[in-house]
Amino acid sequence: AGFSALGPTFVRYNSYGSEADELLHNTVPMSSPPSSPAELAAPATAVLPLQEWLKLLSSRGVDMRVSMALAAKITRERLSLLDGKKLTPIVPDKEQRKTVLNAIKGIASGQAFNKKRTRDSDLLEPLRPGAEEPLPQSLEFHDILDPEALIPISITAYLYITRAFKDYTAHVMGALRLLAESYTPDELNRLGSHMYNEFKPDVVEWGQRGILECAKILDQLKAPLPDEVEAMARGEEADLAGSEEKALIKPISTAPIEVVEIDAETGLDGLTDPGSKLSEPPDLENEEYEPPSK
């Protein structure tokens, strides 16, 4: 037996003396423990078992350890007299003390409490079988298949790219598509971030302008490019003046060219190769000149 800040309180312990079994007061106990908040509202001096106290407090958001401490010290007839000052020695934490005060005021006034599912309350009191929400039996994400609903979203995403790359959008998209098609989906998920770091523009802060080289994108292809495509990707071509298309410049002949030194005094007599044939310059005044056939 002992005295608390709220009045005399008698607690009966079990044979082991380690757990409070029932909270008693100098009143006549009820014939049976109440089973609903409506029954708990009257009379206010009723004796409640420890389990009912814990259920009342924990159902209103009070921590279970705090509920155990309160159940051993307070009775229902003193709930209306409990304030923050008297509760401070029992519950030092300010937030928990606020939760306890709200719960106790609701219990003392007999107000119904609409319980909300929270992570902590799931551990204290599971939902009843009748209140369970139906859960989906399959992992369907309800894909949007309406083209009219998809087109605006696609256009918005594509315009963001075209504003950055302008006329070179087709080149960048083509290089990225070649890169994506050269790997399997699992490989892309595993290596995508690494490949992006290899060809992304070299900028320091977000929003800065940079240069994206398609050749660096093609360097990340799983299969090597053919020599001709690799040469074009490396820029080994020249733009023809006045032409919108690009053409690879090739030499007229692939035979090796021999460089011969000619003496200024002897002129062409310095050539020692008897098999070499040099054509004389044409006489444009006396005979008609015919250009050599290609």
SS3 sequence of 171-228? HHHHHHHHHHHCCCHHHHHHHHHHHHHHHCCCCCCCCCCCCCCHHHHHHCCCCCCCHH
pLDDT for 54 equals 77
Both 11 and 116 in one domain: the answer is yes
Does 30 score more than 50 pLDDT? Answer: no
Same domain, 20 and 109: yes
Considering 40-54, 225-239, 250-264, the range whose residues carry the highest mean pLDDT is 40-54
Asked which of 216, 239, 262 is the last residue of a domain, the reply is 239
Q: What is the pLDDT of residues 200-211, one digit of tens each?
A: 888 877 777 788
d(CA 259, CA 265): 19
Q: Does residue 40 sit within a domain?
A: yes
Instruction: Name which of 31, 24, 33 is nearest 55 in CA terms.
Output: 33
**One domain, residues 160 and 81:** no
**Residue 25 · residue 47 · CB < 8 Å:** yes
Please tell me whether residues 17 and 119 are part of one structural domain.
yes
Into how many domains does the chain fold?
2
Structure tokens at 241: 């003046």
Structural domain of 231: 147-239
Per the listing, tokens 């040469």 go with 231
Give the integer Cα–Cα distance in Å for 48 and 32: 9
The residue-averaged pLDDT of 77-88 equals 69
Q: Please, which residues have CB within 8 angstroms of residue 145's CB and are 6 or more apart in sequence?
A: none
What pLDDT, on a 0 to 100 scale, did the predictor assign at position 203?
A: 80
Lowest mean pLDDT, pick from 100-114, 123-137, 235-249:
235-249
Average pLDDT on 255-270 reads 45
Q: Is 87 a member of any domain?
A: yes
Residues 50 and 163 placed together within one structural domain of the fold: no
96-114: per-residue pLDDT in tens?
888 877 777 776 666 666 6
Q: What one-letter code names the amino acid at 153?
A: I
User: 195: closest CA among 182, 211, 206?
Assistant: 182
Q: Which of 6, 12, 48 is nearest to 30 (CA)?
A: 48
